Amino acid sequence: MWASGFAHSPLIQATPEEYYALLLFGSGAWPFCSAYKWPHATARFYGWPPWVYLWRASPDFCSCFLFLPMSTATVTMPPAALHRLRDETLDLDSLAAYNLYLTAGPAGLRVGVADVRRNKFVALDEYTAPEAGVSVAQQALALAADHDLLGRTGWNRVRLAVQNRAFTLLPAPLFRAGDEAACLQLHHALDPQRESVHHYTHPGLDITSLFAVDTGLSSWFRNAYPAGRLVHQTSALLQGVAHQSEQGSPRRIYLSIGQQEVTLLAMNGKQPEFCNVFPFSTPEDLIYYTILVMQELQLNPDQDMVMVWGDLMHDSELFTILRKYIRNLRFGNRPFDLSYSYRLNDLFEYRYFELYALHLCE
């Protein structure tokens, strides 16, 4: 069904550099009308759905006549917070004293803030996974519109880790700028219309990570934080594990368990020997991939230690089955040489490892 609407809306004061979005929605013949203010660059880069009409307007008055299909009138709402923790020392009037860290993937968005001078995490947010049909980019945009941390600029440093399976690692001497897409296509069917390709060279490890990012997410991030850096989730994991590994220590397997995905990392001392992300839908799938990698690297599931981080509980079925087949299984700790606000004390130490480890990514 089609409906038409004519709206006269007094708008809040704004500068000429800002866009306005008029959202029309409803179920009757005349849709409800409301006005939202969005930053100019956000509107420019974001792929708005057909029911959003963008325009430059005077700060006092606007009018719009718009035909739209009522069935498309949906609004992406900000995700619900699972955790929203703040230390009293966090000073939002001095953002240059802090680093902002983000992770984005199937499990949703996570936000962390670290005090640069004290090397201390003073804030952590976790949000629900995107609903069906909603991308992480849409979720980030909806959240940033009214968030005390994500919508702010002026940070000392900003890092975003993307979690997906579209990545590869190669020796840094073999990497040449401009070859990212060609190299990544050997491992991932790249869609140039929906994905952009990025790289990150690991300091001290002589390794370069190549990875793809949803175009909507990368455009939002580049626009919001022009000096920010995108990395892959495996890079944060690798930097964190290398940081707390000892030179000359024996080969060891590390697991980072996410939403129906597991990252398996093998380290020999401080040098990575294997890194890959596997999908799994049952605990048996997870056991299969873990034992397969251990056998290929001549490790014994009955004797050799395996360290685990991620989204699981001590009493979960997944952990119970892991413990049955891997006898020397241990939960990992937070990255060493960092401190953490007492507000984070109620969180399991083996969770959010990649978010914390972004502090180690240059």
Q: Where are the domains of the chain?
A: 2-72
pLDDT of residue 163: 96
pLDDT mean over 217-222: 95
pTM, entire model? 0.79
Assign 75 a pLDDT band (cuts: 50, 70, 90): low
For residue 35, the model assigns a pLDDT of: 35
Predicted confidence at residue 314, as pLDDT, reads 73
Whether residue 58 is predicted with pLDDT greater than 50 in this model: the reply is no
Q: Does pLDDT of 36 surpass 50?
A: no
* Confidence (pLDDT) at 1: 36
- 119-162 pLDDT tens trace: 999 999 999 999 888 999 999 999 998 899 998 999 999 999 99
Strand ranges (E), the chain: 2-8, 19-25, 32-38, 52-55, 63-69, 81-86, 98-105, 108-115, 120-127, 157-162, 167-171, 195-202, 207-214, 229-232, 252-257, 261-268, 271-279, 306-310, 329-331, 339-340
Q: 21 versus 207: which is more confidently predicted?
A: 207
Q: What is the pLDDT of residues 301-334, one digit of tens each?
A: 999 999 999 998 777 888 888 999 999 999 999 9
* C-alpha dihedral, 315 to 316 to 317 to 318, nearest 10°: -120
> What is d(CA 196, CA 239) in angstroms, rounded to the nearest whole number?
23
Mean predicted confidence (pLDDT) in 168-183? 93
> 248: pLDDT confidence band, cut at 50, 70 and 90?
confident
Return left, alpha or beta for 213; rule: phi > 0 is left, psi -120 to 50 is alpha, else beta.
beta
Residue 230 has pLDDT above 70, yes or no: yes
Does pLDDT of 42 surpass 50? no
pLDDT digits (tens, 9 = 90+) for 7-29: 333 333 333 333 333 333 333 33
Q: Side chain identity at 183, as an amino acid letter?
A: C
Average of pLDDT values for 235-258?
94
Q: For residues 143 and 82, what is the distance between their CA atoms, to the nearest angstrom?
A: 14
Residue 162 near residue 263, CB atoms below 8 Å: no
